Structure 1
Amino acid sequence: MHSIRKDPDHEMHRDLAKYGEMTTLHLGSKTWILLNSQRVVSEIIAKKGSLTNGCSPMPVASGIVSRYGRSLLLPPSGWTEKRRVMHSLLSGTALRQYAAWQELESTQLLAEYLFQPELWYRHHYRYANSVVHRIVLGGRLVKTGKELADLQDVVTHSIGSIGSSMVDWFPELESLSKFLHLWRAHWEKLAVWNYNLYRSWWVPVREQINAGIAPPSFVRDVLLHDDTKFTGDDQEAMYVAMQIIEAGSDTTREALNIFAMASLYHPDVMTDMDKMPYICASIKEVLRWRPIFPFTPDHVLTSDMEFEGYHFPAGVGLVINGIAVCEECEDPDIFNPERWLDGHETDAAHGLWQFGGGRHICVGYRLAQRGLSLNIACLVMCYDYAAAGSYNSHRLNHHSTDEPFPVKVTVRSEEHAKLIKEDATRNGVLETKWGRSEI
């Protein structure tokens, strides 16, 4: 357990895959089956989703820290209703509506790059958060830089809590008498901070909806709408909305940062990004080349399963070894989008498991794919990236709120700069006071 958590270059993930397509691990009182190849992931996670849709108990990460509100960490009884309402984000009508918002925020991203190139990494997060904020809560983002950093810290700490406590590996410890719960005070303090930050984003939106003055949003038109009949209470609704904000903004930010790293490490590839199929393939390669999720959350069997002569009892966790699966190709350390030009390049979930799979697949992956396509195409067209110091292409420093690695961004020409300014002026996104922390 300790070795896996202290493995920044993921060598253990690769070593564990050397045993074959599946590797059994005993971690505390839990049993994991690592799925180390595309084939077994497809056969088990994709094709047996009705059996692999459970989640193992995590009294700290899921219980105390998340107050049983983050659906990704819950068993089917806890996430079915939440995912039902979230699926409205996947409808074709909704995606077409969101496209205009994504284009507007992308226009601002290009202008932010022009005026503050040294804050490229902050612009990634502002873009991603602003898009998902407008979709989920309604209205353009008006949060300060500190408020955005605080939300990113919530994501960092909540993800960091998974597996950090011995109690999550030995859930039986929760049954001890309360006076023996020496771990509880630390995690409850984190939970209160998380809850209060969520409330600061949630309550104003809910009050606007109650007053009848809220703009269109997922919360107004689906989550709290009478016709939708979400069965959860106010706190559960808040966690549904805010976990979409978290997931939708943080993973897009990380993917854009990986794109920046790929631009440093493989600048030759960027010259070919003028064709849209190649852009789509490049997005899949960004997610494969440096996986955001080395391990997926475990897919726990809800009943016994037989597979190719093996018997897996209910309660076993099936975990995608993201490093091994993403490196199951020729020259895995080479950034090569052409490996995805197979007719399925426009489907980011085909042959790639960074959005999860089966019934746990990310409900907003198509939205994320559209946003990445738009922004990577525009950034490649308008800007050059160069290293501004030494870096390690395997160290993305995803959880840093400072510059994750040294990058010098320059606009390609004065003509490009002129077009960016004209487009930003036409769309009304130049009112930002450049240079202030709110950006």
Structure 2
Amino acid sequence: MESIVFALLFIFAVALPVYSYSKRQRFRLPPGPKGLPIIGNAFDIPVGHEWVTYAKWSCEYGSDIIYLNIAGQPIYVLNSVQAINDLLEKRSSNYSDRMVMAMCHEIVGWGKNFAFMPYGDFWREHRRMFHQHFHSDVVSKHHIHILKQAKDLLGRILADPDNLTQHLRFMAGASILRVSYGIDIQPENDHYVGIAEAAVHSLALTGNVGSYLVDNFPILKYLPSWAPGAQFKRDGMKWREQVNRMFDEPFELVKRLMAEGKPSDSVTASLLAGLDERKDKPRQELETAVKYATGTSYVGGADTTVSAVATFVLAMLKFPNVQSTAQAELDRVIDSGRLPTFEERDSLPYVTAVMKETLRWHQVTPLAVPRTVTADDEYKGYYIPAGSLVIGNAWAVLHDETRYPNPGSFDPTRFLTSDGQLNKSAPDPVEACFGYGRRLCPGRHFAMDTIWLNIAFILTTLDIAKPSDEMGQPIEPSGEFTSGTLSHPVPFKASYKPRSKAAEVLIREPMFYD
């Protein structure tokens, strides 16, 4: 970095209290990379697939807790289900706050997402609004929109098999935009899907701790955007505009329609209609809470579904025996010429196990969003000071060989009993995939329903296989996944064929419930 950046770093480093680097002498801390004077482990933070490195360190140091220190900021990475449950679940009152990251939250503007908000009344207000429309008892009212988009996805895949990710984004975006804002999106190049995808891309790039130097040295955020070494500021300004548009534009559309006497059937309209009943806060403040709560729904719902269903398709390519077993179950339960329904889920335990294994095999968010410790604590004899960051490594938990033998294999039977029913005593991956304690994702029921139905529809109607190259040899998928806060399979090719003539007719016919 240019001289200005180095000068600022030097000033900041000199200002740091030296006592933070003698803590290892005064307090017992977990093992971890040794680090350097002043800057600590700033250059030890892994770049790309951090979750794998953290799990590797956990094995190398013989500890399920790894300690890092970045310029005085303590970071504790939890790599076991016991440590995560003991701290993030049982002591959730002390481990539910959030760190405000300079790049992601302040510069880019993702602080609007209530999943990233500090713990307190403001966060509770947003979560309460979200929860009342997405908890398990009411999510079924959204099933009609999930069904429509899952059915449309089949035709899109069959017509254009080389753009799976694009089709999945349309399916997920259409579902959540219809539920949240009452918006029926355009078949191609939809405006609202476009601005949301651009915004979410910035979250994937900036959401993990240490993704940008400014997160470790917040003083850098005061650099002018034109300064040498301030490309992060220029990128952040562009991304901030996209984030603002994602939250603002669909919300303002609903408000305008309501003002014109055309209220939409949507979560936003329902929440806005109920605001007059509340007199304890200014309406503008409550409207902002509605905007942030419903805007968060796109991030939480869309990308989870896209990554999970793409991961499922990848698994069917690599483990074709799983596909044939799931299809055999569907053929036994579902009458020919129709699609499965949510009501038949209990009769399809293997399909449900496929969904669970999809979530376990590779997580959308391999690292949980960092927590901030509210008060000094001690665990296993280790000192955890207030203000420390604590990160749950979901990938390490879901690839723990003691809980999931042969974790690299895609094996739905790990969630089944010997007679083929769901094993309620098997460790459920949902616990690690959707967060912990008071920060457990409130949209998980909607996400899991969407993932399950898409998996069931695809397995019922399509055979997924590896395509062939010009020499007739199968094209092997890389099986790689992207890095970042949100992780997706690297694009791959697949062949999709209707399982029968009846299946093809089913895919192409108009919506079965129209």
Q: What range describes the TM-score normalised by the shorter chain of this pair?
A: 0.7 to 0.9
Could you say if the C-alpha distance between residues 51 and 109 of structure 1 is closer, same or farther in structure 2, counting changes exceeding 3 Å? same
Partner of 1:203, secondary structure, is helix
The match for 1:100 is 144
Question: Conserved in 2, the CA contact under 8 Å of 1:152 and 1:250?
Answer: no
Match of 1:415 among 483, 496, 502: 502
TM-score, reference length from structure 1: 0.87
The match for 1:340 is 415
- What is the rounded CA distance, in whole Å, between the counterparts of 2:488 and 2:255 in structure 1? 29
Could you say if the C-alpha distance between residues 192 and 349 of structure 1 is closer, same or farther in structure 2, counting changes exceeding 3 Å? farther
Could you say if the C-alpha distance between residues 173 and 420 of structure 1 is closer, same or farther in structure 2, counting changes exceeding 3 Å? closer
- What is the rounded CA distance, in whole Å, between the counterparts of 1:185 and 1:403 in structure 2? 27
Question: Conserved in 2, the CA contact under 8 Å of 1:70 and 1:239?
Answer: yes
Match of 1:260 among 289, 310, 313: 313
The match for 2:297 is 244
Report deviation, 1:69: 0.9
- What is the rounded CA distance, in whole Å, between the counterparts of 2:155 and 2:384 in structure 1? 54
Match of 2:205 among 141, 151, 160: 160
- What is the rounded CA distance, in whole Å, between the counterparts of 1:401 and 1:323 in structure 2? 14
Could you say if the C-alpha distance between residues 363 and 402 of structure 1 is closer, same or farther in structure 2, counting changes exceeding 3 Å? closer
Match of 2:189 among 145, 150, 160: 145
- What is the rounded CA distance, in whole Å, between the counterparts of 1:52 and 1:402 in structure 2? 31
- What is the rounded CA distance, in whole Å, between the counterparts of 1:383 and 1:390 in structure 2? 19
Report deviation, 1:25: 1.5
The match for 1:118 is 162
- What is the rounded CA distance, in whole Å, between the counterparts of 1:228 and 1:312 in structure 2? 44
RMSD of equivalent CA atoms: 3.1
Report 1:316-355 matches (<5 A): 316-328=388-400, 329-341=404-416, 352-355=431-434
- What is the rounded CA distance, in whole Å, between the counterparts of 1:351 and 1:96 in structure 2? 19
The match for 1:46 is 89
Partner of 2:433, secondary structure, is coil
Question: Conserved in 1, the CA contact under 8 Å of 2:205 and 2:211?
Answer: yes
Question: Conserved in 1, the CA contact under 8 Å of 2:168 and 2:306?
Answer: yes
Report 1:264-303 matches (<5 A): 264-273=317-326, 274=329, 276-303=348-375
Q: Which amino acid aligns with 1:29?
A: G
| Per-residue CA distance 1:176-206 (angstroms, 9 max, x = gap) | 8999895544422321233234433332122
Partner of 1:283, secondary structure, is helix
Could you say if the C-alpha distance between residues 261 and 178 of structure 1 is closer, same or farther in structure 2, counting changes exceeding 3 Å? closer
Match of 1:62 among 90, 102, 105: 105
Question: Conserved in 1, the CA contact under 8 Å of 2:371 and 2:389?
Answer: yes
The match for 1:314 is 386
- How many residues get paired? 427
Report deviation, 1:352: 3.2
Report 1:352-363 matches (<5 A): 352-363=431-442
Question: Conserved in 2, the CA contact under 8 Å of 1:54 and 1:302?
Answer: yes
Is the counterpart of residue 204 in structure 1 residue 253 in structure 2? Answer: yes
Could you say if the C-alpha distance between residues 365 and 67 of structure 1 is closer, same or farther in structure 2, counting changes exceeding 3 Å? closer
Report deviation, 1:113: 2.6
Match of 2:67 among 5, 12, 24: 24
Partner of 1:125, secondary structure, is helix
- What is the rounded CA distance, in whole Å, between the counterparts of 1:176 and 1:114 in structure 2? 50
Could you say if the C-alpha distance between residues 396 and 185 of structure 1 is closer, same or farther in structure 2, counting changes exceeding 3 Å? closer
Could you say if the C-alpha distance between residues 197 and 364 of structure 1 is closer, same or farther in structure 2, counting changes exceeding 3 Å? closer
Is the counterpart of residue 135 in structure 1 residue 192 in structure 2? Answer: no
Q: Which amino acid aligns with 1:411?
A: P
Could you say if the C-alpha distance between residues 277 and 227 of structure 1 is closer, same or farther in structure 2, counting changes exceeding 3 Å? farther
Question: Conserved in 2, the CA contact under 8 Å of 1:9 and 1:394?
Answer: no
Unaligned 5+ segments in structure 1 are: 429-439
Partner of 2:432, secondary structure, is coil
| Per-residue CA distance 1:16-74 (angstroms, 9 max, x = gap) | 22122111112343221111111211221122211111111212211121163122222
Q: Which amino acid aligns with 2:95?
A: T
Partner of 1:76, secondary structure, is coil
Question: Conserved in 1, the CA contact under 8 Å of 2:178 and 2:184?
Answer: yes
Question: Conserved in 1, the CA contact under 8 Å of 2:196 and 2:246?
Answer: yes
Report deviation, 1:115: 2.9
Higher deviation after alignment, 142-151 or 74-83: 142-151
The match for 2:266 is 217
- What is the rounded CA distance, in whole Å, between the counterparts of 2:237 and 2:289 in structure 1? 18
Higher deviation after alignment, 45-54 or 274-283: 274-283
Partner of 1:117, secondary structure, is coil
Question: Conserved in 2, the CA contact under 8 Å of 1:60 and 1:161?
Answer: yes
Partner of 2:163, secondary structure, is helix
Identity of aligned residues (%): 23
- What is the rounded CA distance, in whole Å, between the counterparts of 1:208 and 1:245 in structure 2? 20
Report deviation, 1:280: 1.8
Higher relative contact order (CA 8 A, sep 6+): 1
Report deviation, 1:83: 1.0
Q: Which amino acid aligns with 2:353?
A: A
Higher deviation after alignment, 9-18 or 229-238: 229-238
Question: Conserved in 1, the CA contact under 8 Å of 2:147 and 2:453?
Answer: yes
Could you say if the C-alpha distance between residues 157 and 324 of structure 1 is closer, same or farther in structure 2, counting changes exceeding 3 Å? same
Question: Conserved in 1, the CA contact under 8 Å of 2:95 and 2:372?
Answer: yes
Could you say if the C-alpha distance between residues 345 and 159 of structure 1 is closer, same or farther in structure 2, counting changes exceeding 3 Å? farther
